[in-house]
Structure 1
Amino acid sequence: MEHTPTIRSKIETELKQRGYSFSSFSKISGINRGTFSAMLNSNPPKPISVRQMDLITKALGYPEGWLYELYIEECFYEGKGHWKRIKPFLLRCVELGRQDFIQKVLSRLTEDLSYVPTIFSLAEELHAEGKEKESVPFYECVVENEKYYHSERLAISQYRLFSYSLNKDLENNRQLAIKFAPFRKNLPENHQLDALLKLANVYFQVHDCETVIQYAKELGVLATNIYQQQIQTKLKKREVKPLNTERHLIVYYGQAYLLQGSAFEKQGLYEKAMEFIPYYANLAGLEGMNEIGMFEARRLQLFANANRLSLEILMGNMTNLSGYVELIKNNPPEILHGLLTIMESANTYKYSIDDVLTLFAENINDFRDLRTNITYYHNNYNLVIYSRFFLELSRYYFNKGNYSEAIDSMLNSLKASSQLSDKAYYIKSITLLFEKYKDHSTLEQRAEYEKVLKEVEYNIKQMTS
């Protein structure tokens, strides 16, 4: 029967082959001679720390991680897990990116489910240090092994994995939201606020307005309750504990109403959408507002003013068009969204906005120049707005008989939608539009159209394979 080497037998073999004594090896490794001897000769032997193992590896000239496979047994000496050895070993494996050893240790650990809370604590430590990617295997381990379905631990782990996995693929995000949503109410209130806002935004991007409204309502109720609890705490002259959320509390309250209004706007119910504006237009007077809260209140007020004007324009009331143009002109981050609103209204009510397009020609050209680097719009919201704007601009130019500009704009829209994997909502509309006006396109435009369609087909195959 072949003898299975241990970490100690491996070290002893190396020492003998190289002619090292404990004394001589102690000098080159930096490990005390007595300590080194106790590791190999004591009965029972003195445990080897991760740092000592790394010093031995370096002294023998081997690459980092050389003894790690054997060190796993050191972590489970006599069949029991020893967390004081396991934790430093796992952290070192995290540093070296050794997912294989991490999975082996976690597999051994979870033979005893009492370790699940300990693994969760380590995942939270990594998260707090900004090591999101590195914490994933630990949260996944908790999800796979937590025996209490309604535990806060499981809910937080599911929330972390949901948050980390959101990307530009809207269908991916929708599936993640479906998987995570049942756990949201088991989260602590601070995490619930962030989770509900993320869920509402995911469904807003996939145009599921009913679900947006559902989560936005939940968000509004929760934010209101927390605010009222804080007021009561202050009245009792007690200290209000920090909420520990990603944003100020006022953001969740304001976004709850802003998102509901936006969902109704997306459905074309502009008068209904208008009803939500007063709820987030004047929040600066709320009690307990600090500097950050006042900043967020001013931002929400700006959104309220912009949305009010936007809705009026979408309803065909062009009285305040010049005021709206001035507003977006003075707020560059809002230019793209503002121009989309104006384009949609112009296409619906059939009026000319050539003067507006001339005024913002430089901005539009800057947007158009990003056709080869559309990922500049790194989040889904901006990509969606980008795609919608160029689709509406394309329709506007087609209606005016400016086919070259129309097809160029349509190609910008198609490219953005393909990167979002937003096939259902936009790509069908864009392809139908192109086929309708195909005879007006140049050879170069047709070639680019075919190229982007191949990218779309490739993305679909990747998602379904």
Structure 2
Amino acid sequence: MEGAIAIRSEIRTCLQQKGYTLRSFADLSGVTVSYLSTLLNVDKIKPISVRYIDVIASALGQPEGWLYELYVEECFVTGSPHRSRIKPFLLRCVEIGLTDCIIVVLSRMLEDLNQLELVFEIAEELHNADKPKEAVPFYECIVENEKYQHSERLAISHYRLFRAALGQNLEKNREAAIRFAPFRNRLPVNYQLDGYYKLTGTSFNQHKWDEVEVYADEFQIVVKAACNDKIRRLESKKKAEPLVTDHPFVFYYGYSYLMKSLALQKQKKYKEAKAYIYKYNDLSWMKGMDKKNQKQVEQFKLWAEGNMYTLDILTNKRSVIPRYIQYLKEHPDEILAGLLTILESANNYDFFVDELLEEFREQISKFNKLSDKTHRTYYFSFLHELAIYNFKNERMHQGLNCTLHSLRLAIIMNNDSDFKQCVTMFELNKKFATAEQKNEYESIIKEEGNDEKFSNCSSRSGFWVN
């Protein structure tokens, strides 16, 4: 009650200081005299909406958020949370960035856990308004206070927090994935599809091949069940709402097998990997596909062709390299992954690819401009293999340059295992380093990585040529 009285006292004081009567202020603000009189009555307090607080503040020339700290009490003037005031107030606090007020209101609300329903409603409204970061405090509130561990509301909140946390920092991505993973099977099907897509990708970027396999296997179960349900509905001609997902349905089907095959490939289980490529090579059999789905079918067919070449090259079938090179030229987006494959095979089977690297010099020089985490992961692996290739061919200076470059990249991505791998490689070859390379190495390991450092480092030339 004290806060409610204080709000009205502040408004009255401001009116007096500026020389307004209720009549003159009513003319200025558009709020009727009778309503102003009722609102400002401290003997018989009538709740005031945050909209009227904003109207009065604007008319008085006060900044946005004026009296909001006092308005927190207004939300609880009857003793319990009042939905019609709390929800607009919290949404307005989000809009103008008053985090402290949000925290105080949420804390007061959760004296009654039945208010979690309203907190979740606000969080979902913010999410649907494309404000995932702003919704985080509300979802965190659900996660910390939900008493029913198998509630769908809790699982969705974990899912939203996982999605909001994903960025270029691989260690933070992993922490978010670990937190979300136990709730992955408690989600509605559409969220499960997107959740598994993000989980497998996060583990892939961390080179956690066993995890990728586990998630891909579970992913396949979910996507097959959804596919069978879709087929049954089409055959029975039952009307049902389509699954609302980030990608066309066929994408999830193909992606689950793609990730399984890649995880097997990375573990050198090439025969098993090939079997899974066949499962996403031709997905045209799916029923009820629109143009977006058909486009994805073609994309998976393209990936399957490239990954078949990959497996052949990794098993030393060098005769396919000319055809693979032509494939890469026709599909430039695949050049980074393709050159990584060829370098890996060259290192395993001791053959030279200098002319090939020279042929793609221009494309290689642009790899550093690829800023998403998956491409950066591939680029790190490319640099690592290129360093090995140079060392094997006694080009120590170029090998150390590659190692320094990849070391900076590992720092940017905050990938501890990659960082240690680079440090080990540099230390093993440190005796061949120039004074400049040693100084740069010592400087790198003392500083935090960022995009500017990455850009500066990536301008280095001479990765493979003398």
- Asked if Structure 1 and Structure 2 have the same fold, meaning a TM-score greater than 0.5 normalized by the shorter chain, the answer is yes
The question of 1:403 aligning with 2:396 is answered: yes
Whole-Å Cα distance in 1 between the matches of residues 225 and 366 of structure 2?
45
Cα distance 1:255–1:3, how it changes in 2: closer, same or farther (>3 A)? closer
Whole-Å Cα distance in 2 between the matches of residues 112 and 436 of structure 1?
61
Q: After superposition, where does 1:125-164 map in structure 2 within 5 Å?
A: 125-164=125-164
Q: After superposition, where does 1:263-302 map in structure 2 within 5 Å?
A: 263-302=263-302
Return the match for 1:390 from 360, 383, 394.
383
Q: Shift of residue 294 of structure 1?
A: 0.5
What letter corresponds to residue 197 of structure 1 in structure 2?
Y
Q: Shift of residue 401 of structure 1?
A: 2.2
The question of 1:124 aligning with 2:111 is answered: no
Asked whether the equivalents of residues 417 and 423 of structure 1 are also in contact (C-alpha less than 8 Å), the reply is yes
Q: Shift of residue 280 of structure 1?
A: 0.2
RMSD over aligned Cα, in angstroms? Answer: 2.0
The worse-fitting range, judged by mean Cα deviation, of 401-410 and 175-184 is 401-410
Whole-Å Cα distance in 1 between the matches of residues 413 and 17 of structure 2?
59
Whole-Å Cα distance in 2 between the matches of residues 133 and 428 of structure 1?
32
Q: Shift of residue 250 of structure 1?
A: 1.0
Matched residue, 1:428? 420
The worse-fitting range, judged by mean Cα deviation, of 278-287 and 407-416 is 407-416
Cα distance 1:3–1:325, how it changes in 2: closer, same or farther (>3 A)? closer
The question of 1:169 aligning with 2:180 is answered: no
Return the match for 1:440 from 419, 429, 432.
432
Equivalent residue of 1:287, what SS? coil
The question of 1:9 aligning with 2:9 is answered: yes
What letter corresponds to residue 45 of structure 1 in structure 2?
I
Return the match for 1:417 from 410, 432, 435.
410
Asked whether the equivalents of residues 3 and 73 of structure 2 are also in contact (C-alpha less than 8 Å), the reply is no
Q: After superposition, where does 1:376-387 map in structure 2 within 5 Å?
A: 376-387=369-380
Whole-Å Cα distance in 2 between the matches of residues 454 and 216 of structure 1?
38
Whole-Å Cα distance in 2 between the matches of residues 60 and 457 of structure 1?
48
Whole-Å Cα distance in 1 between the matches of residues 210 and 399 of structure 2?
33
Asked whether the equivalents of residues 200 and 215 of structure 2 are also in contact (C-alpha less than 8 Å), the reply is yes
The question of 1:23 aligning with 2:23 is answered: yes
Whole-Å Cα distance in 1 between the matches of residues 274 and 228 of structure 2?
26
The worse-fitting range, judged by mean Cα deviation, of 442-451 and 352-361 is 442-451
Whole-Å Cα distance in 1 between the matches of residues 399 and 440 of structure 2?
14
Equivalent residue of 1:319, what SS? helix
Asked whether the equivalents of residues 314 and 344 of structure 1 are also in contact (C-alpha less than 8 Å), the reply is yes
The worse-fitting range, judged by mean Cα deviation, of 349-358 and 202-211 is 202-211
The worse-fitting range, judged by mean Cα deviation, of 162-171 and 345-354 is 162-171
Asked whether the equivalents of residues 404 and 440 of structure 1 are also in contact (C-alpha less than 8 Å), the reply is yes
Aligned length: 449
The question of 1:451 aligning with 2:429 is answered: no
Matched residue, 1:311? 311
Gap regions ≥5 residues in structure 1: 371-375, 459-465
Whole-Å Cα distance in 2 between the matches of residues 334 and 69 of structure 1?
55
Asked whether the equivalents of residues 39 and 47 of structure 1 are also in contact (C-alpha less than 8 Å), the reply is yes
What letter corresponds to residue 434 of structure 1 in structure 2?
F
What letter corresponds to residue 75 of structure 2 in structure 1?
C
Equivalent residue of 2:366, what SS? helix
Q: Shift of residue 42 of structure 1?
A: 8.3
Asked whether the equivalents of residues 421 and 456 of structure 1 are also in contact (C-alpha less than 8 Å), the reply is no
Matched residue, 2:51? 51
Write out per-residue CA displacement over residues 244-297 of structure 1, whole angstroms, 9 at most, x where no aligned residue. Answer: 011111111111111111111111111221111110000022111110100111
What letter corresponds to residue 179 of structure 2 in structure 1?
K
What letter corresponds to residue 359 of structure 1 in structure 2?
E
The worse-fitting range, judged by mean Cα deviation, of 21-30 and 258-267 is 21-30
Matched residue, 1:247? 247
The question of 1:97 aligning with 2:97 is answered: yes
Equivalent residue of 1:285, what SS? coil
Equivalent residue of 2:319, what SS? coil
Q: Shift of residue 32 of structure 1?
A: 1.5
Matched residue, 2:458? none
The worse-fitting range, judged by mean Cα deviation, of 235-244 and 155-164 is 235-244
Whole-Å Cα distance in 1 between the matches of residues 327 and 263 of structure 2?
23
Q: Shift of residue 210 of structure 1?
A: 1.9
Q: After superposition, where does 1:176-255 map in structure 2 within 5 Å?
A: 176-255=176-255
Whole-Å Cα distance in 2 between the matches of residues 40 and 114 of structure 1?
32
Q: Shift of residue 47 of structure 1?
A: 2.6
The worse-fitting range, judged by mean Cα deviation, of 280-289 and 35-44 is 35-44
Cα distance 1:4–1:288, how it changes in 2: closer, same or farther (>3 A)? closer
TM-score by length of 2: 0.92
